[in-house]
């Protein structure tokens, strides 16, 4: 946004927005395949069995893909999973919903892997970002992380920002055997280190599926059209807000701080 010479009515300063092209996105999902992805959520499936974090993540991803393609059918998606390092589920970017469904169905989690190294994920993303740029597209990585006691690690040059990084962090409540605040801080550090456009990080320790869906819907925002995350005030509550002095912690409150 640039200031224009002269003043508007009432002595106010006039501004103008330069016309810019909003690029189509290539979106790479990276889903945590650690055993902590099998922690149960506060919801049950059609068969009456509790949904796990991974079950809920699968639903949220398909919600995102369908909504994103409704906005722009030219966005494309690829899928990977994270153990100690990332591996491909579906390498070729596609706009086909059926392709996304097939990739999501392949997701599973069985073992505990300890701390994840995100370096190879960033290398893959940087490589794919260069290919996307050659087609006048931009690349975004959406990392879904579920480990409460294993801080992710990475090594990456400070001056190399070729893609946007978003993070959703599902975790346990703080306790003697975990450190979700430290994990969250490490994820924030990674995001700020590598992201090209404004990256968002959302986290929840409530175990509520609707909170996960809310976070995923907020990631529908195109990286080239985003405000700072601290300015987000959506979705609006349906009930009238109580005065701040009367407010009490609700079930959506989270146990780690979003610094």
Kindly report, residue by residue over 32-53, the tens digit of the pLDDT. Answer: 999 999 999 998 888 888 899 9
Average pLDDT of the segment spanning 90-117? 93
The most distant pair of C-alpha atoms in the chain lies apart, rounded to whole Å, by 66
Kindly report, residue by residue over 145-174, the tens digit of the pLDDT. Answer: 999 988 999 999 888 999 999 999 999 999
Question: Among candidates 95, 141, 107, which has minimal Cα distance to 38?
Answer: 107
For residue 126, give both structure tokens: 């940087």
Quick one: CA dihedral 145, 93, 163, 1, positive or negative? Answer: negative
The rounded mean pLDDT for the chain is: 87
> Could you tell me if residue 221 is left (phi over 0), alpha (psi between -120 and 50 degrees) or otherwise beta?
beta
Q: Distance between CA 199 and CA 197 in Å, rounded?
A: 6
Task: Read off the pLDDT band of 184 (50, 70, 90).
Answer: very high
- Tokens 């959703």: give the residue: 168
- At residue 244, φ and ψ (nearest 5 deg) are -55, -35
Query: Model-level pTM?
Result: 0.84
- pLDDT value of residue 246: 44
């Amino acid at each position: 946004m640039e200031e224009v010479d002269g003043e508007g009515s009432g002595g106010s300063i006039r501004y103008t927005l330069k016309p810019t092209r909003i690029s189509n996105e290539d979106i790479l999902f990276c889903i945590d395949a650690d055993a902590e992805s099998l922690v149960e959520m506060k919801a049950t499936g059609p068969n009456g069995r509790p949904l796990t974090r991974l079950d809920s993540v699968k639903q949220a991803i398909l919600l995102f893909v369908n909504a994103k393609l409704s906005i722009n059918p030219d966005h494309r998606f690829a899928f990977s999973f994270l153990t100690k390092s990332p591996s491909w589920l579906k390498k070729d970017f596609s706009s086909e919903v059926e392709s996304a469904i097939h990739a999501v169905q392949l997701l599973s989690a069985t073992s505990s892997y300890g701390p994840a190294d995100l370096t190879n994920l960033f290398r893959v993303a940087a490589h794919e970002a260069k290919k996307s740029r050659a087609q006048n597209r931009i690349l975004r990585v959406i990392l879904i992380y579920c480990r409460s006691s294993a801080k992710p690690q990475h090594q990456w040059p400070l001056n190399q920002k070729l893609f946007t990084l978003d993070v959703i962090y599902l975790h346990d409540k703080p306790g003697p055997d975990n450190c979700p605040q430290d994990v969250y801080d490490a994820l924030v550090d990674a995001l700020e280190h590598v992201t090209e456009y404004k990256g968002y990080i959302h986290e929840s320790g409530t175990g509520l599926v609707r909170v996960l869906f809310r976070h995923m819907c907020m990631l529908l925002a195109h990286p080239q059209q985003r405000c700072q995350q601290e300015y987000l005030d959506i979705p609006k509550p349906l009930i009238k807000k109580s005065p701040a002095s009367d407010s009490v912690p609700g079930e959506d409150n989270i146990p780690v701080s979003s610094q």
